[in-house]
Amino acid sequence: MPQAVAAVMQMASGGAPHQVVTINATILYRAARDEHFRRIINAASLVTPDGMGVMLVAKILGTTFPEKVSGVDLADRICAACADDGCRVFFLGAAPGVAPLAAEKLRAKYPGLQVVGTQHGFFDAHEETAITRTVQAARAQLLFVALGSPRQEEWIAAHLGECGAAVAIGIGGSLDVFAGRVRLAPEWVRRAGLEWAYRLAREPKRWRVTLTLPLVVFLALRERLAHVLRERFWKRGN
């Protein structure tokens, strides 16, 4: 997490626009099946492991991460850093009224935080030009986009250059959390990697989303097996 926050803050200090993706099992599964979406993820300046499913998949494929870096936790840490150094942020997404409330609560939590604008996520394609101009006029350096996946990643990839922000991060339902409309799982549940079970218990209609976890693990196991077989046959051939 400290490395991710430092990387984002360095990007925000200037230069070409950067997209940051916090990838969970659902996003990873979509990227594995959708070439256009996969190109967006692969082109991002920073991708962080958001969830124990991604941590498990990485381990199967021979990579380990020091810790999970979720969208809501990363956004919170970045807001704390922005309050210290004066970086200007803009909140885009969620239902009408949520982003201003999230901004109010985060300003109270982190005095000095400059939230220079908010915009709800219920807009049509013909409104996008006006929205990008609003972000640009606010001179935001960091743009938090809470439109849900894959819409937020695709929107950032298509419009970040028009917004003038140095960094844009897709943060899913984080604004609802910051506004107090949605509660995170207890800390012990999050540490145990059981957030998926907590969300499923609270929102049973999410069961289809939960299915992506075993599916993406299956893909990882298949890839691992293919790699082992390729190595074995290559050694035999040489």
Residue 170 banded pLDDT, cuts 50, 70, 90: very high
Instruction: Count other Cβ atoms within 10 Å, centred on residue 70.
Output: 22
The reported pLDDT for the residue numbered 37 is 98
Cβ atoms 168, 146 nearer than 8 A: no
Least confident of 91-100, 157-166, 211-220: 211-220
> pLDDT above 70 covers what percent of the chain?
88
- Quick count: other Cβ atoms within 10 Å of Cβ 60? 17
Let me know if residue 44 belongs to a domain. Answer: yes
Please write the tens of the pLDDT for every residue from 19-75.
Answer: 999 999 999 999 999 999 999 999 999 999 998 889 999 999 999 899 999 999 999
- Domain span including residue 86: 2-229
Instruction: Count up the domains in the chain and report the number.
Output: 1
Is residue 176 in some structural domain? yes
236 in a structural domain: no
Residue 237 lies in a domain: no
Lowest mean pLDDT among 23-37, 132-146, 159-173, 211-225: 211-225
Does residue 147 lie within any of the structural domains?
A: yes
pTM beyond 0.85, yes or no? yes
The yes-or-no verdict on residue 208 having pLDDT over 80 is no
119: three-class secondary structure by DSSP:
strand
Q: Is the pLDDT of residue 84 over 80?
A: yes
Tell me: the pLDDT tens digits for 172-204? 999 999 999 988 766 766 666 666 665 666 666
Is 100 inside a domain boundary? yes
DSSP 58-84: HHHTT---SS---HHHHHHHHHHHHHH
pLDDT at position 214, please?
Answer: 86
Please indicate, yes or no, if residue 234 is contained in any of the structural domains: no
Q: Read off the pLDDT of each residue in 100-125 and give the average, rounded to a whole number.
A: 97
Note whether residue 203 is domain-resident.
yes
Confidence grade of residue 17 (pLDDT, cut at 50, 70, 90) = very high
Question: Mean pLDDT across the chain, nearest whole number?
Answer: 90
pLDDT at 205 over 90: no
With 0-12 / 13-18 / 19 or more C-beta atoms within 10 angstroms meaning exposed / middle / buried, residue 143 is: buried
